[in-house]
């Protein structure tokens, strides 16, 4: 097994200008590092089966979970249970870099929500 980093991980682009790197992509676990530029956000959604943990590496995340808003600073994280509507935003002036860990993987388990 080789050491993984964003330099050798599978990369993808989401939204208009956001980046993701699959650090772990297995049938039971997903760990992704993401970059969200200032002013960008994900759409509000939930996962029926996957629970997730968001952990900020740099920047400031605004994470709304089930109608409650949390501000996450570097080296802080928040657990999002399965079934909880949530939305991550970058309302700061610098890039937001974070990891999101999902078990089981959240791909194909997403339902978009209206506010």
Question: What's the CA gap between 70 and 14, in Å, rounded?
Answer: 23
pTM score of the predicted model: 0.94
The whole-number pLDDT of residue 1 equals: 66
pLDDT by residue for the chain (115 residues), tens digit each?
A: 689 999 999 999 998 899 999 999 999 999 999 999 999 999 999 999 999 999 999 999 999 999 999 999 999 999 999 999 999 999 999 999 999 999 999 988 999 987 5
């Amino acid at each position: 097994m080789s050491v993984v980093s964003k330099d050798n991980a599978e990369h993808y682009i989401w939204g208009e200008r956001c980046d993701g790197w699959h650090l772990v992509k297995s049938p039971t676990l997903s760990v992704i590092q993401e970059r969200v530029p200032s002013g960008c956000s994900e759409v509000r959604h939930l996962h029926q089966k996957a629970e997730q943990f968001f952990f900020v590496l740099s920047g400031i995340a605004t994470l709304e979970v089930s109608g409650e808003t949390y501000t996450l600073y570097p080296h802080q994280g928040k657990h999002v249970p399965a079934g909880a509507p949530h939305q991550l935003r970058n309302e700061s002036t610098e890039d937001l870099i974070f990891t999101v860990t999902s078990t089981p993987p959240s791909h194909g388990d997403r339902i978009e929500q209206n506010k």
